[in-house]
Amino acid sequence: MADSAEIVLIAGDLTDYGLPEEARVLAREMSGVRMPIVAVLGNHDVESDHEDEVRQILVDAGVILLDGDACEMHGIGIAGVKGFGGGFGQRALGAWGETIVKRFVHEAVNEALKLEAALARLRTSQMIALLHYSPIQQTVDGEPLEIYPFLGSSRLEEPIGRYPVSLVLHGHAHRGQLQGTTKSGAIVHNVSLPLLARTFPQQPTFRVFEVAVDRCERADGPSPGPDAAPTPQLVEQAPDRRRNDLGAP
């Protein structure tokens, strides 16, 4: 990755069972990385109710961990949130009926509001939304239909459409599709590790993206590389662990 990019982005599931000892292993593994690392948590990272400790271990190791927050690097704004489920489009779950259903929907709405707040803080011409759950159905197509509501929420797409987001990255959908597009035209990439390993078996399990930066924001930049548009190169990796989410095969 160090030879390919300037920033590392990780789309959640930094651990398997959300245990502090797992976070410490990852922190040691990343200690040799000299590039900025920006990440969000995934559903695995909250499994054991130790997410605060997991977060602190990684932050102490130098990881910029976003949760409704934003940061700017090399003229690029990055807004990050874990996200949540709820389904997509007209079939998205509504806040009606049992209290537990309303709480589920409230969590999805709350994550979308956190993403909106993070994007609103940015003043860069180029914005990236870094998520764990998908904001669109296209990149989860191929998963069992029964688990679609647990793979993402179109409520996350709404704030993306209100800001100049040029790139959206998420993990979580192990058998989804590599790429899709929001209604506003933002490109969405599914960078789940199992999907990348299966699609590109002869390559390392990360992808490199290039994002064009306004010269007023950044005068220098790397030469064009293999995967997308022009300038600062971002390595995107989603270390979803071996255990499948939600019983997906």
SS3 of 179-204 = EEECCCCCEEEECEHHHHHHHCCCCC
Token output for 138: 């296209």
Residue 242 predicted with pLDDT over 80: no
pLDDT > 70 in the chain, percent: 86
**Per-residue pLDDT tens for 23-57?**
999 999 998 888 999 999 999 999 999 999 999 99
Split at pLDDT 50, 70, 90, the class of 93 is very high
**How large is the average pLDDT for residues 68-72?**
97
Mean pLDDT of the chain: 88
Please state which of the four CATH numbers 3.60.21, 3.40.50, 1.20.1740, 1.10.150 is assigned to the domain occupying 7-243. 3.60.21
Q: Sheet of 76-81: strands edge to edge?
A: 69-73, 76-81, 126-131, 165-170, 187-190, 179-181
Split at pLDDT 50, 70, 90, the class of 221 is very low
Q: Determine the pLDDT at residue 144.
A: 96
